[in-house]
Amino acid sequence: MRVFPLSVIAIACISTGSLSVGNTFANDAKTLAQTTQVQATAVATPHTTAPEKTLVDTPVVVPQVVNSAENTTITAPAADVITEPVVVTAEAQPAATPERANTFVNDAILPPSITWHGASESLILSVDNEWATPFEQSRGLESPSYDATIAWLDKLALETNKLQKVSLGKSPQGRDMWMYIASSEGINESARLKQNTKPTVLVQAGIHAGEIDGKDASMMLLRDIIKGDKSGLLDKANLLFVPMFSVDAHERSSEFNRVNQRGPVNMGWRTTANNLNLNRDYAKADTLEMQHMLRAINVWQPDLYIDVHVTDGIDYQYDVTFGYNLAQGLSPASFRWLENSYRPAVEAALTEQGHIPGPLIFAVDNTDITKGMSLWNPSPRFSNGYGDARHLPTILIENHSLKPFKQRVLGTYVMLEQTLKTVGEQATKLKSAIQEDKYRASPLITLTWKSAPLATGWDFKGIDYALETSPISGTEVVRWNGQPKLYPNLPVMAETVPDIKVTRPSAYYIPAQWTQVIDRLNVHGIRMTRLTKPTELKLQQYKLSNPVFNTQDLEGRQTVKAESELTKVSTTLPVGTVKISTEQPLGDLAILLLEPQSPDSLLQWGFFNPIFTNTEYIEDYAVEPLAAKMLKEDPKLQAQFDKALTNAEFAADPEARLRWFYERSPYYDNQYLKYPVYRSR
């Protein structure tokens, strides 16, 4: 038997997690060992069902020990491979691994945390369980990195054919946006998923990468489906799971991100690597990540879409809040199912497990709760507004940022588990509601909404607070004290009153040169055809006036608003013109993207900004004789000019007077301020 120095034995023990010097190193070593085993098994034991995309092999990582004295790295081989003793002096031994954090770096500056214990804590596996997630191994304080997340999920997938994996595409920094498909049949293709006729739930986490609760909750739930006693959840429903939507931002991780949020220890960044907010990008679809997600929605056709966030704002007792668009929106049948079937079931499950569920909450005034709450009816730049427009029931989860990470993750687990149960049990009702909304084709479409008070108020489960004058800011600030307080019958303002409305056109026509607009409509999955021969039609066209450009950049774009007047035109549309019928499932979405007064129209997002540039002009020496000729030949024009001169400001402006004639001459650009999208009634 070969004898090794104690220092070598110590290194070997530390590298395999055998010494009790802290859980972090031990768990990391264990994860590496498991990853190595999984990768080796992956080669020898492939899935019975081939993956939809070929995966790139991940390099096997060997645990290493750093000799701090010599600043060199020593690879620690297995004990039966060591041939010579390695001498390490006491001074050169690695420093003791620090204990895991048991609090969050920003705790001291946040309002008091309410101690919570609930029945859902029984869902957590022990730290040393082979199938404990990284979240569980950290005792509910940490969320794993991109690589560690995928490695853990891949290890789980090797245990079954019920969990498959596809890439939705690459991020700007080259990371795969992975989606896991959980089905009882081991399906990895969208066509086969549709054939099994079960409803499909799409859960995405990390659209704001620091708000990552959905990732860790879904990892636990998938583990319990594959390795535990919850496989029956897949008997009546399929699950699509995107663990990290904003993958690049997920890796911009720090304990100093999201100062208003109580964990995890390290959190991702709010915006993408290009500093764009994905949850403002659904309509314009500028980001690669959003384009991948929209194509996935079109290809996989989920029946329910869940977007998991963590909210900011006021303090209150609710730990899991969630909402969807209102009854007045574009998907009223889906709203009724969500409100009357889905919400009661989910809230009952959360309450039974010790959580406090509530509706999506926004205070009218964060410094005065008595002013009441507001109900939001979002536009399609947001996930739930987009879902309403395309008739995909969409739930926005907003866990409360001041509740500890563990509590939020467990609440999300309970909600997602109950979602699969309810969707499976009520598949027919859900699918019927979706079909009703898709083919509703309302003759009037509301583009904007006004707020009005609801007839019934809310009993709001809040937290008590006081206002104090701050010596820092010199104004009154809220000091939450952590004491539960009921605010009975608070008024509620809701965006339920239609503001700008338009009649539903039968179709839109877009000239072929507006390629970016056509491409975005295609990304959304909107059906279109092209004219194969010149076509003369009587149509409608908007004439725009008084454009106002935003003085600040918004999400990488120069947005614009303009007044619009609908006019009648007769025109010959050239070959290649794109026709978009509104008599299709995504007809309402097309209307919101193409009507210029819609807040998320492609016009307001700046896709048509070149039409606001007047490129041709006329010299003064030419317009003077032209004006004289026009007045001589047209007495009515003389009368109009005389009337215009009664405006003192106009009469005193020589350039305005000359431009008046140029705009009425045949030399003027007849496309200037004409919206290049035609409507047919």
Question: pLDDT tens-digit profile of 459-495?
Answer: 999 999 999 999 999 999 999 999 999 999 999 999 9
For residue 113, what pLDDT band results from cuts at 50, 70 and 90?
Answer: confident
For helices 654-663 and 620-633, give the axis angle rounded to 10 degrees.
Answer: 60
- CA quadruple 476, 482, 488, 491: dihedral, nearest 10: 40
What is the DSSP annotation of 65-76?
Answer: EEETTTTEEEE-
Dist CA 31 CA 14 (whole Å): 14
Q: Closest by alpha carbon to 656, among 645, 672, 666, 668?
A: 645
DSSP letter, residue 113 = P
| 578: Cβ contacts below 8 Å, ≥ 6 apart | 509, 510, 511, 512, 518, 521, 528, 529, 530
DSSP letter, residue 59 = P
Hunting for tokens 């405006």 — which residue is that?
647
| 481: Cβ contacts below 8 Å, ≥ 6 apart | 111, 112, 463, 464, 465, 466
With a cut of 60, say whether residue 94 has pLDDT above it.
no
Beta bridge partners of 75: 64
With a cut of 60, say whether residue 63 has pLDDT above it.
no
The one-letter amino acid at 564: S
Q: What is the pLDDT of residues 127-153, one digit of tens each?
A: 999 999 999 999 999 999 999 999 999
With a cut of 70, say whether residue 50 has pLDDT above it.
no
Other Cβ atoms less than 10 A from the Cβ of 614: the count is: 12
Query: What is the Cα gyration radius of the chain?
Result: 31
Dist CA 681 CA 605 (whole Å): 25
Beta bridge partners of 397: 308, 322
Dist CA 290 CA 132 (whole Å): 32
Q: What is the pLDDT of residues 425-436, one digit of tens each?
A: 999 999 999 999
Q: What is the pLDDT of residues 351-397, one digit of tens each?
A: 999 999 999 989 999 999 999 999 989 999 999 999 999 999 999 99
With a cut of 80, say whether residue 9 has pLDDT above it.
no
The percentage of residues in the chain with a pLDDT greater than 70, rounded to a whole number, is 85
What pLDDT sits at residue 280?
98
Beta bridge partners of 170: 176
What pLDDT sits at residue 76?
34
| 486: Cβ contacts below 8 Å, ≥ 6 apart | 459, 460, 461, 462
With a cut of 70, say whether residue 664 has pLDDT above it.
yes
Q: What angle do CA 647, 653, 655 make, to 5 degrees?
A: 130
With a cut of 80, say whether residue 2 has pLDDT above it.
no
**Do residues 593 and 600 make contact, with C-beta atoms less than 8 angstroms apart?**
yes
Hunting for tokens 């005065």 — which residue is that?
368
Task: Please report which helix (H) or strand (E) contains residue 155, including its range.
Answer: helix 146-157
**Do residues 548 and 604 make contact, with C-beta atoms less than 8 angstroms apart?**
no
Tell me the average pLDDT across 574-583: 98
Q: Where is average pLDDT lowest: 73-87, 154-168, 371-385, 405-419?
A: 73-87
Q: What is the pLDDT of residues 219-266, one digit of tens each?
A: 999 999 999 999 999 999 999 999 999 999 999 999 999 999 999 999
For helices 620-633 and 635-644, give the axis angle rounded to 10 degrees.
Answer: 120
Given 289, 347, 398, 495, which residue is catalytic? 398
Phi then psi for 309, rounded to 5 degrees? -125, 175
**Do residues 308 and 397 make contact, with C-beta atoms less than 8 angstroms apart?**
yes
Tell me the average pLDDT across 50-69: 34
Query: Residue-wise over 135-145: b if at least 16 C-beta within 10 A, else e?
Result: bbbbbbbbbbb
Bond from prior residue into 393 cis (ω within 30 degrees of 0):
no
Q: What is the mean pLDDT of the chain?
A: 87
Dist CA 283 CA 456 (whole Å): 33
The one-letter amino acid at 496: T
Q: What is the pLDDT of residues 510-540, one digit of tens each?
A: 999 999 999 999 999 999 999 999 999 999 9
Q: Classify 462 in phi/psi space as left (phi over 0), alpha (psi -120 to 50) or beta.
A: beta
Dist CA 430 CA 337 (whole Å): 7
Tell me the average pLDDT across 9-14: 36
What pLDDT sits at residue 100?
54
Q: Closest by alpha carbon to 517, among 303, 292, 369, 675?
A: 675
Question: Has 619 been annotated as catalytic?
Answer: no
For residue 410, what pLDDT band results from cuts at 50, 70 and 90?
Answer: very high
DSSP letter, residue 279 = G
With a cut of 50, say whether residue 1 has pLDDT above it.
no
Q: Closest by alpha carbon to 395, among 353, 437, 334, 354?
A: 334
| 227: Cβ contacts below 8 Å, ≥ 6 apart | 131, 156, 159
Query: Residue-wise over 592-601: b if at least 16 C-beta within 10 A, else e?
Result: bbbbbbbbbb
Measured in whole angstroms, the distance separating CA 29 from the mean position of its chain's CA atoms is 34
What pLDDT sits at residue 101?
56
Which 3 state secondary structure label does DSSP give 406?
A: helix
Q: What is the pLDDT of residues 340-354, one digit of tens each?
A: 999 999 999 999 999
For residue 617, what pLDDT band results from cuts at 50, 70 and 90?
Answer: confident
Sheet holding 560-573: strands in order across? 529-530, 578-581, 507-510, 674-680, 535-549, 560-573
What pLDDT sits at residue 670?
87
Judge residue 520's burial from the number of C-beta atoms within 10 Å of its C-beta, 0-12 exposed, 13-18 middle, 19 or more buried. Answer: buried
With a cut of 90, say whether residue 313 has pLDDT above it.
no
For residue 77, what pLDDT band results from cuts at 50, 70 and 90?
Answer: very low
Structure tokens at 456: 């019934």
Dist CA 400 CA 384 (whole Å): 18
What pLDDT sits at residue 615?
86
Other Cβ atoms less than 10 A from the Cβ of 69: the count is: 11
What's the residue count for the chain? Answer: 681
Dist CA 92 CA 308 (whole Å): 47
